[in-house]
Structure 1
Amino acid sequence: MLNASLIGAAAVTLSTSYAFGDVFGTKHSLHRNIKEGWSFYVVYGIIILVSAGIVVIPHAPLGLITTGVQALAGILLPSATVFLLLLCNDKAVLGPWVNRPWLNIIGSVIVGVLVVLSLILAIATFFPSVNVQVLSLVSAGVLFVGLVAAGLVWYRRRSPVKPMYGEEDRHTWRMPPLGKLPKVIWSPTQKLAMATLRGYLVIAVIMLVVKIVQLSIGG
């Protein structure tokens, strides 16, 4: 537990501070002194203090909080993998290193499985009486049909495109600065998928918080 706490304090809080700096365009790095990267260190310190404050609260349900955090991580994981897959296909960022079709197939299957597992986790957390085996079988069937349908649509719409980059470009490619990257343009299907994912995340997180509060009060 001590090792996990130390790793979490270093990894999670630092990654959050880096993400905060990326989003708001502030200087963020451990290489900068406190005067230059003050916002980075302030965010890092606040997260540490809030986390430590929760731990020292008398009679705090730490076991329930830990379980809730793990459930929250399971719910949020699909969003990270979806954006990771999109990033791996962004030619403006990766150039000749974008995913090949077979990698996208494997990645889509993995993301689909993670989404299904996240849904099962969320439903089982909110409704403990549900039959997990039946839910898993139904979800697996829906996932299989969805992947097959998506594969057929992709196969029918695909068209031979001349590669923009050659193998020699892999050795010289450098990612452009963030400020020079073009704005991402999503298709209507991608916008609908992102809206659905966001809606699921918002609803699932709200229900999870409500469930944790109910268990805390009831316990």
Structure 2
Amino acid sequence: MIITTAFAFNGTELAGVFDNAGSVAAGLAKKVGSLSGAFFAIILLNASLIGADAVTLSTSYAFGDVFGIKHSLHRKWKDARGFYTSYTLLVLIAGGIVLIPNVPLGLITMAVQALAGVLLPSATVFLLLLCNDKVVLGPWVNKMWLNMVSSIIVGVLVMLSFILSATTLFPSVNVKLLTLILTIILIIGLLGAGLSSYLHRGKKSEVTVTTLDRSSWRMPPLRDLPKPEWTRTRKMGMVLLRSYLVNAVLLLIVKAVQIAIG
């Protein structure tokens, strides 16, 4: 959708101008044809419904995990009231924000996308840590080569997330110079992490598994999982990541407010 719209608006007064999805559909209808505008609106509606369900459901499942309440769509309302209540409230809140008169939908959309660009790549760091937790995954933990590939991918994603945040907050920033600096930092960080992993390769894990365990392995209940061990390198990395996330989110909120009030 983005590529098609950019191609349609290229060289026109609508290029690089975004107010809201409705204006984009109207612009497509004007520049390309009414059918293209209608298709854009239908596809966007479909994507919005899927996105609303996916985000609200995943959030409701997360609430259930955190607070220890029953959470599943196969359960009836009486058996999982907290799950269905949180799901309903999230849908109503999201829909209510959209229906507020004169709300700057374009600004909200851009702010949400920028926020997603900040948070989602950073979440892959925790996913990588989870993929190496033998207490949780047992024999299914990542192999060394997979960790190397995953670390590079996660590092690049976090770097791109930082660039997105910087360009959103400071449009005049030198992207080439920033990319070069971050690339150097990324390479040094990956080499440092690899060296640390190499030096600690001889330490035995608390969980001993064999290839025979794969067919019967089951993750222990959450209440039985021990607290993960935090090495000095992991603590330092988490402190840096949390500091970046907190500062990026705060700066993003400030920027959105500044744009909203003009």
Q: What TM-score do the two structures reach when normalised by structure 2?
A: 0.79
Residues 77 and 114, structure 1, Cα contact 8 Å, conserved in 2: no
More moved, 203-212 vs 187-196: 187-196
Partner of 1:210: 254
Partner of 1:11: 54
> Larger relative contact order (C-alpha < 8 A, sep ≥ 6)?
1
Q: Deviations over 1:58-87 (max 9, x none)?
A: 121111111111110110023310110011
Aligned residue runs from structure 1 range 56-95, under 5 A: 56-95=99-138
Partner of 2:228: 184
- The answer to whether structure 1 residue 25 and structure 2 residue 40 are counterparts is no
Aligned residue runs from structure 1 range 51-200, under 5 A: 51-159=94-202, 164-200=208-244
TM-aligned CA deviation for residue 15 of structure 1: 0.3
Q: Deviations over 1:5-50 (max 9, x none)?
A: 1111110000000001101111111122222211111111111111
Q: Secondary structure at the match of 1:171?
A: coil
Q: Secondary structure at the match of 1:74?
A: helix
Quote the Cα distance in structure 2 between the aligned partners of 1:40 and 1:160.
42
Q: Secondary structure at the match of 1:94?
A: helix
One-letter amino acid of the counterpart of residue 228, structure 2: V
One-letter amino acid of the counterpart of residue 173, structure 1: W
In structure 2, the CA distance between the partners of 1:167 and 1:8, relative to structure 1 (3 Å rule), is same
In structure 2, the CA distance between the partners of 1:170 and 1:214, relative to structure 1 (3 Å rule), is same
Partner of 1:38: 81
Quote the Cα distance in structure 2 between the aligned partners of 1:119 and 1:204.
8
One-letter amino acid of the counterpart of residue 247, structure 2: I
Q: Where does structure 2 lack aligned partners over 5 or more consecutive residues?
A: 1-43
One-letter amino acid of the counterpart of residue 198, structure 1: R
Residues 13 and 44, structure 1, Cα contact 8 Å, conserved in 2: yes
Quote the Cα distance in structure 1 between the aligned partners of 2:232 and 2:82.
37
Q: Deviations over 1:124-152 (max 9, x none)?
A: 11111101111112211221122123223
Residues 85 and 107, structure 1, Cα contact 8 Å, conserved in 2: yes
Quote the Cα distance in structure 2 between the aligned partners of 1:32 and 1:151.
45
Structure with larger Rg: 2
Tell me the matched-pair count: 218
Q: CA RMSD in A?
A: 1.6
Aligned residues with identical type, % of pairs? 61
TM-aligned CA deviation for residue 153 of structure 1: 3.0
Q: Where does structure 1 lack aligned partners over 5 or more consecutive residues?
A: none
One-letter amino acid of the counterpart of residue 180, structure 1: D
Q: What TM-score do the two structures reach when normalised by structure 1?
A: 0.93
TM-aligned CA deviation for residue 155 of structure 1: 2.3
